């Protein structure tokens, strides 16, 4: 399976949809393309989110394009009277699955709980016979979420993120190291490939560091994108690694 990681910079307006369409059309030979958290909206919308949040019927262009390639995007979504930070999976001309961010950070530089409602559950869904799950950023920093992912037993877990840079040390970027530890742990405990796509760029003093990753079921980094630079890269997953990991667990 060929997956495109779209580690991009976005704007705090709706021009991002046009950008997504342009990028998708250039990568139709892949099976899936993955964008970061809130990639259609930008992160620091604050009160503007009430004007700029999308309704699902405004994203028919992505439904149409998904007839040729599966598309995963992040967006502020207006649904059931709520504003949600959502990951959307489009496939075969329709919205196949929506995951709404469950854990909204509301400390330090983060104010998400002021503007978004919490998602209510984490679930899996089927894509061409394979089980898939999605989470958004802070969701994966909770032990109960990692435990739930393990019980869902996906072949692929997609993690959409808008992680700001912090913790610069002589050994590198601390937040990147922390994310790598969480992603590797999740991959090994859940025996799945983990696809982590984080954005780059600056908004109101926040710098987003990129560093998107593909982690194998054995917890090894198979692919990593550069820090602080836009990058669009196609990778091919080896699903035999998932079967090998299952066999190892079965015979231990």
What's the pTM?
0.95
Q: Could you report the per-residue pLDDT of 132-151, keeping only the tens digit for each? A: 999 999 999 999 999 999 99
Give me the domain span that covers residue 94: 2-251
pLDDT on residue 245:
55
Instruction: Grade residue 251 by pLDDT with cuts at 50, 70 and 90.
Output: very low
Q: What is the overall mean pLDDT for the chain? A: 94
* Positive or negative: CA dihedral 189, 190, 194, 196: negative
Q: CA torsion sign, 57 to 40 to 99 to 102?
A: negative
- Cross-strand bridge partners of residue 83: 78
Confidence check: pLDDT of 242 > 80: no
How many domains in the chain?
1
pLDDT tens by residue, 176-198? 999 999 999 999 999 999 999 99
User: DSSP H helical segments within the chain, as ranges?
Assistant: 15-25, 49-52, 60-65, 112-115, 143-152, 174-190, 240-251
CATH of the domain at 131: 3.60.110.10
């Amino acid at each position: 399976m060929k997956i495109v990681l779209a580690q991009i910079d976005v704007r705090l307006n709706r021009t991002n949809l046009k950008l997504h369409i342009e990028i998708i059309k250039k990568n139709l030979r892949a099976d899936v393309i993955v964008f970061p958290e809130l990639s259609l909206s930008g992160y620091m919308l604050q009160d503007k989110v009430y004007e700029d949040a999308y309704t699902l019927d405004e994203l028919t262009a992505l439904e149409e394009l998904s007839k040729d390639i599966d598309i995963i995007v992040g967006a502020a979504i207006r649904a059931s009277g709520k504003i949600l930070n959502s990951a959307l999976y489009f496939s075969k001309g329709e919205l196949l699955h929506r995951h709404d961010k469950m854990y909204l950070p509301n400390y330090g530089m983060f104010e998400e709980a002021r503007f978004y409602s919490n998602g209510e559950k984490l679930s899996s869904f089927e894509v061409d016979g394979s089980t898939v799950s999605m989470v958004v950023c802070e969701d994966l920093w909770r032990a109960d979420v990692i435990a739930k992912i393990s019980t869902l037993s996906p072949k692929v877990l997609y993690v959409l993120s808008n992680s700001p840079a912090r913790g610069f040390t002589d050994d590198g970027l601390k937040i990147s190291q922390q994310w790598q530890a969480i992603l590797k742990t999740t991959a090994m405990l859940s025996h799945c490939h983990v696809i982590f796509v984080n954005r780059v760029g600056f908004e109101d003093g926040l710098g987003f560091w990129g560093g998107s990753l593909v982690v194998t079921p054995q917890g090894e980094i198979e692919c990593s994108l550069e820090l602080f630079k836009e990058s669009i890269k196609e990778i091919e997953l080896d699903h035999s690694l998932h079967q090998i990991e299952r066999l190892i667990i079965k015979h231990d």
